[in-house]
Structure 1
Amino acid sequence: MTERNKNIVSLRRVHFNTIWLVPLVAVMVAGWMLYQNWATQGPVITLIASNAEGLEAGQTKLKARNVDVGKVIDIRLSDDYDKAIINVRMNQGTQNMLRKDAKFWVVKPRIGKEGVSGLGTLLSGAYIDMAPGTEGEKSDGFVLLSQPPLSTKTEGIRLLLHSDDSSKLDVGTLVHFRGYEVGYIEEVGFDTETGSITYRVVVKPPYDALVNDAVQFWITPGLSFKSSVQGFEVRLDSLETFLSGGISFGLGEERSAGAPIKDLTSFRLFASKEEADNNIYDQTIEYLFLFDSNVSGLYAGADVEFRGVRIGTVLEVPFTGISMDKVTSLDRPVIPVLARIEPQRLNAWSVSGDISIQKWQELLDERIKQGLRATLVIGNYLNAARVISLDFMDNPPSPKITEFEGYQVFPTGPDSLANIEGKVSGLLDKFADVPLKQTFEQLGRTMGEANETLRQLQAVSKSVTHLIEKSETQQLPADLSEVMAQLNITLETYQANGQIGRPLRENMVSLGRSLNELQPLLRQLREKPNTLIFDSKPRLEIQPKAAQ
């Protein structure tokens, strides 16, 4: 057999084994799966966060509108160890969501100004939520926000609020109108020139139609406790404002709606609704009150009243806008108080309608000449809150000061408590001036003389009786005997045991006993005249005992 034939025979003996088809098919399937996995994968994006609290590589999901669109694949620190770098593998088809204005934040349980949110993550764990981007170029690097973003839509109206005397409110604080949520604080700033806290507020439609140039804004604390002349007031607003408060707005009392406004119109943010209501009285007359009595219980915002009707507001106690050196140089030490009269509160009562400020000024000047004076009175005895009361006084002293450092001075008078103290003090002084010793000595001599007179009458009565019993007397005419008998009866009534003598003696004894009992009290009043008002002995404080 030739060589050629041998080769042909050997080739015929080689057979293809079908077992090799299995790994071949496996390799092809694996390649196809790798290709499919590569083809279905989305891009990898990088999120930069201050920390990665609650996030886990391979576990934490990324969602958009509660739909899974990616998963965290890696978490590491930045090169300077200042930030957390989070890599997220996005799903296929999410490329158009990754634009410059896309927002990312972590969803976890929160209790904030918008209420309670993220309770579902107590079981499933935290996840990353996103607001898809719609504008700008595509990007693969973003900043992970620490808080959910606010709405950036342009609907509604934006306003600028400035506050001078209240604490700072945070971004996201809700804005209410009669309890309805109508907006929120979009931005918080600080004006270094005026020292005011500034807020940019968004009022959403359709509530933006409620805003006009006559509305007022004020802070509504979640929980407030107020003590004033009207009493104690506790107010609890909604749950959303319980933690950090909120902002409310509306028209003042008896105030009509104003004209529409434009975007970024500026308003003042008042510390309370009461302060906002008082601000509507823009035509006022300021007076300086110089009180030479105790002003405790009188605070800024207290009422200025005329016979119980509020006509003004206290502005500052004590008033520091004047030189204290000049105040202390006056004849008597006084406490300056600045207050204002608000005639607009009384214009509705006037017969001729609205009266100008000039007319009110002239009217007050005329009433002051007629005896109108200001005094401090207690408006509420539970909390000792005081008000300034204006009323007419009989024979008032002429005002010594009518103007002080450019401020009109309203004449004042002593308060009612000072008048009572003065009357009691004067009464005690009169008691102290009474010559008690001489009076008691004279009374004792009088009682002795009265006893001696009774004894003499008794002796005369006995003498008359002996005279009548004599035989010579019985021989007198019958008329004279009858007269003597009547005289004897009369004398017997004045004896110690007679009808007149006995009550007189008992009254004299009772009077002497009462005077003896009154002597310690009068002696104590002479030594301590204030015993009628205060206790003679100080009360000891009760000290709590330790538990046994």
Structure 2
Amino acid sequence: MTKQTDSMSKQVETNKNAGSEHPPVKEHYKDSLEGSENNSEGFLAEVKAVKRFWSPVWIVPILCVFIGLWIIYEHYSSLGPQVTLTTSTAEGIEAGKTRIKTRNVDVGIVESVELSDDFSQVILTARLSDGKEDFLRTDSAFWVVRPQIDKSGISGLGTILSGPYIELLPGVSKESNNTFALLDAPPIAAPDAKGLRIFLESDEYGQLAAGDPVLFRGYQVGTVETSAFNHETKKMKYQLFINSPLDNLITENVRFWKDSGVNVDVSAQGIRFEMSSLATLFSGGVSFDVPKGWSAGQKVANNTSFRLFNNRTNILEREFKEFDPYVILVSESIRGLEPGAPVEFRGIRLGTVIEAPMNINDEQIVKNDNLVIPILIHIEPARFTELLGEQFNVVEQYEKGNIKGLRASLKAANLLTGAVFIDLDFYPDDILVQEKQTFANYRVLPTVSGGIAQIQQKVMLTLDKINKLPVENFIQEATGTLETSKETLVALNDTLHSVNQLLSNQSTQELPAVMKTTLHELNTTLEGLQPGSQGYSSSVQTLQRLEQTLRELQPLLQTLNQKSNALIFEAPATVDPVPKAAKP
């Protein structure tokens, strides 16, 4: 039975390999079965081939394929919008880890961090959550939040442990965008903030920084948002945001100036010290206002540009569109005269110095054998017509011939700084000195020596007089006097030496004791002549007797005076005088 089974198996395999049909196999099985009916050990089962093209086993892989396709579909259909961010550095940003948040809610994640083709910047590819397409507008903003210490305080402390993340500020524009610049700091004002954005232009770099306050009379009304350098105009451009409703203060005639907290200005007008608000004392800022006497004008539109002045004083020195150019020719030093210096008439400003010295090429500047220096000035009528009227235009009156003797001169404005300005005034004694002329197609204002030249001339005259003094003779006489004085001092020294020797002699030293004894004896003698003493009484009696004797001798002396021989001859008797009667 076993042998039959083995032979049957071999026959089946042979039929399969040969591609034989099933009937021979069936016949073989039948023959085997008939031959084995009498076999008591068992029987061989009949094998039938089933014609079937599909099996239930295929249900499992088909279901797996459908499930996989569904998962892929669900994955891509649930993906949010993709956004591309560009930045200069990817410090702290990691692909698959750095989150994108809005109001501290996760809305996306950074998928990849790559360098650009020219290696100039870093390109971040991020994916937002599903349904966040409205977040990506042209005015949306992305910035990195990390620990930071600045003038506004300390921020981003929560990222010390969790690491930096990217903050998203959704925009309000109707236009979509998926490429943004990654900012290092948050924008000053939100896109939906109400207010006015304007620009300031300046010739100097670093005057303002993002975050500096914008002040109106010391009150903060806005903030500086950005600063950038325009390589075409070669000027700094600052973007400012003014909060609503204070943006109504920005009108056509407002002027902006740098507010540095403490401002010291040394100019031709003197030394000016100004101190602004505490908000700008350390960080600085920008202030604006309408100059006194000006009208406010109309409100300006968005993105209007203004000029940034260095300080408030420079605002008053505005640029006048209407002016009359003139040239003055000076033959003295212009040291201290700078462009921008004032041109005044008796303290009232009429114009401005534009070039000192004037830039010329082929003009003849030699006049009367002296090298004259040309100075270009602008006479600005609007400066004085606003205050004094059109008739005060002294230069125009001079041109018309209504006035004569108008002259320009250099005068010192500040002795401390050496600043000089141009002064216009009338000099009637100098009317015919200079005639009207032109220089480089500009009208020339005649000049006269200014205060500095006059002072120098007086100093030179004084020095000349000092130089003409007989100083040598005086020095010789003084030398002779000093020699004589020297000889006198030598003689005086010898005398003092002799006196010193005399005083050092023993006899001289004993002289005070002798004088003391003599004075004591004299004192004793004088004490004997004091009133009440015997000597004093005897002296008084002697004097009284002497007085009586002289009184008795007086008649004799009178007689002898009248007649000298009265002692020999008797003198005639004298008649007693008779008094005369009084007149009736």
The bucket for the TM-score relative to the shorter chain is 0.5 to 0.7
What is the alpha-carbon distance in structure 2 between the residues aligned to residue 146 and residue 222 of structure 1?
27
Residues 227 and 236 of structure 2 are in contact (CA less than 8 Å); yes or no, is this contact kept in structure 1?
no
Residues 144 and 166 of structure 2 are in contact (CA less than 8 Å); yes or no, is this contact kept in structure 1?
yes
Q: What residue in structure 1 maps to residue 40 of structure 2? A: none
**1:259 correspondence with 2:284:** no
2:268 to 213, 229, 237: 229
Matched residue type, 2:336:
G
1:381 to 415, 432, 443: 415
Q: Deviations over 1:162-216 (max 9, x none)?
A: 55x4448789575443342335467857484x76666665544212222333323
2:437 to 395, 402, 427: 402
Residues 270 and 413 of structure 2 are in contact (CA less than 8 Å); yes or no, is this contact kept in structure 1?
no
Q: What residue in structure 2 maps to residue 181 of structure 1? A: 221
What is the alpha-carbon distance in structure 2 between the residues aligned to residue 329 and residue 241 of structure 1?
54
What is the alpha-carbon distance in structure 1 between the residues aligned to residue 296 and residue 115 of structure 2?
57
Shift of residue 380, structure 1, vs aligned partner? 1.7
Matched residue type, 1:374:
A
Q: What residue in structure 2 maps to residue 415 of structure 1? A: 450
**1:212 correspondence with 2:251:** yes
Q: Deviations over 1:327-354 (max 9, x none)?
A: 256732122222334454444664xxx2
Identity %: 32
| Change beyond 3 A, Cα 1:128–1:403 | same
What is the alpha-carbon distance in structure 1 between the residues aligned to residue 436 and residue 479 of structure 2?
49
**1:516 correspondence with 2:497:** no
1:118 to 133, 152, 155: 155
1:95 to 132, 156, 160: 132
Superposed counterparts of 1:230-309, under 5 Å: 230-233=269-272, 247-263=286-302, 267-279=306-318, 283-309=322-348
Matched residue type, 1:99:
L
Residues 259 and 311 of structure 2 are in contact (CA less than 8 Å); yes or no, is this contact kept in structure 1?
yes
Matched residue type, 1:516:
E
Q: What residue in structure 1 maps to residue 563 of structure 2? A: none
What is the alpha-carbon distance in structure 2 between the residues aligned to residue 191 and residue 139 of structure 1?
27
Matched residue type, 2:314:
E
Superposed counterparts of 1:330-341, under 5 Å: 331-341=369-379
Paired residue secondary structure (2:143): strand
Shift of residue 317, structure 1, vs aligned partner? 2.0
Residues 166 and 271 of structure 1 are in contact (CA less than 8 Å); yes or no, is this contact kept in structure 2?
no
Paired residue secondary structure (1:376): strand
Residues 377 and 389 of structure 1 are in contact (CA less than 8 Å); yes or no, is this contact kept in structure 2?
yes
Q: What residue in structure 1 maps to residue 165 of structure 2? A: 127
Matched residue type, 1:340:
H
Residues 170 and 185 of structure 1 are in contact (CA less than 8 Å); yes or no, is this contact kept in structure 2?
no
| Change beyond 3 A, Cα 1:309–1:142 | closer
What is the alpha-carbon distance in structure 1 between the residues aligned to residue 314 and residue 193 of structure 2?
32
What is the alpha-carbon distance in structure 1 between the residues aligned to residue 130 and residue 322 of structure 2?
66
Shift of residue 408, structure 1, vs aligned partner? 2.4
Q: Deviations over 1:265-306 (max 9, x none)?
A: 555554543333222755544332222222122212223333
Superposed counterparts of 1:482-501, under 5 Å: none
What is the alpha-carbon distance in structure 2 between the residues aligned to residue 359 and residue 416 of structure 1?
21
Shift of residue 77, structure 1, vs aligned partner? 3.1
Q: Deviations over 1:465-494 (max 9, x none)?
A: xxxxxxxxxxxxxxxxxxxxxxxxxxxxxx
Shift of residue 116, structure 1, vs aligned partner? 4.9
What is the alpha-carbon distance in structure 2 between the residues aligned to residue 42 and residue 246 of structure 1?
46
Paired residue secondary structure (2:142): strand
Q: Deviations over 1:78-101 (max 9, x none)?
A: 5858354656676x6663555354
The structure having more radius of gyration, on CA atoms, is 2
Residues 219 and 270 of structure 1 are in contact (CA less than 8 Å); yes or no, is this contact kept in structure 2?
yes
Structure 2: stretches of 5+ with no match in the other structure: 1-70, 482-584
Higher relative contact order (CA 8 A, sep 6+): 1
| Change beyond 3 A, Cα 1:346–1:245 | same
Superposed counterparts of 1:450-465, under 5 Å: none
Q: What residue in structure 1 maps to residue 486 of structure 2? A: none
| Change beyond 3 A, Cα 1:65–1:251 | same
Residues 289 and 338 of structure 1 are in contact (CA less than 8 Å); yes or no, is this contact kept in structure 2?
yes
What is the alpha-carbon distance in structure 1 between the residues aligned to residue 479 and residue 436 of structure 2?
49
Q: Deviations over 1:357-391 (max 9, x none)?
A: 86761157768723x43322222222222222334
What is the alpha-carbon distance in structure 2 between the residues aligned to residue 224 and residue 140 of structure 1?
46
Matched residue type, 1:289:
I
| Change beyond 3 A, Cα 1:388–1:363 | same
Q: Deviations over 1:395-437 (max 9, x none)?
A: 3361255321232222222233332332343344456557889
Q: What residue in structure 2 maps to residue 7 of structure 1? A: none
| Change beyond 3 A, Cα 1:343–1:519 | farther
Q: What residue in structure 2 maps to residue 13 of structure 1? A: none
Residues 217 and 269 of structure 1 are in contact (CA less than 8 Å); yes or no, is this contact kept in structure 2?
yes
Matched residue type, 1:355:
E
Matched residue type, 1:380:
N
Shift of residue 314, structure 1, vs aligned partner? 2.3
| Change beyond 3 A, Cα 1:149–1:427 | closer
Superposed counterparts of 1:420-431, under 5 Å: 420-430=455-465
Structure 1: stretches of 5+ with no match in the other structure: 1-33, 441-512, 521-548
Residues 47 and 86 of structure 1 are in contact (CA less than 8 Å); yes or no, is this contact kept in structure 2?
yes
| Change beyond 3 A, Cα 1:224–1:200 | same
Residues 145 and 156 of structure 2 are in contact (CA less than 8 Å); yes or no, is this contact kept in structure 1?
no
Matched residue type, 2:114:
L
Q: What TM-score do the two structures reach when normalised by structure 1?
A: 0.58
What is the alpha-carbon distance in structure 2 between the residues aligned to residue 254 and residue 362 of structure 1?
27
What is the alpha-carbon distance in structure 2 between the residues aligned to residue 348 and residue 87 of structure 1?
62
Shift of residue 254, structure 1, vs aligned partner? 1.5
How many aligned residue pairs are there?
402
Residues 343 and 424 of structure 2 are in contact (CA less than 8 Å); yes or no, is this contact kept in structure 1?
yes
What is the alpha-carbon distance in structure 2 between the residues aligned to residue 295 and residue 270 of structure 1?
27
Shift of residue 53, structure 1, vs aligned partner? 0.5
Matched residue type, 2:416:
L
Paired residue secondary structure (2:369): coil
| Change beyond 3 A, Cα 1:363–1:86 | closer
What is the alpha-carbon distance in structure 2 between the residues aligned to residue 141 and residue 426 of structure 1?
80
Matched residue type, 2:453:
A
Shift of residue 131, structure 1, vs aligned partner? 1.3
| Change beyond 3 A, Cα 1:243–1:97 | farther
Q: What TM-score do the two structures reach when normalised by structure 2?
A: 0.55
Paired residue secondary structure (2:460): helix
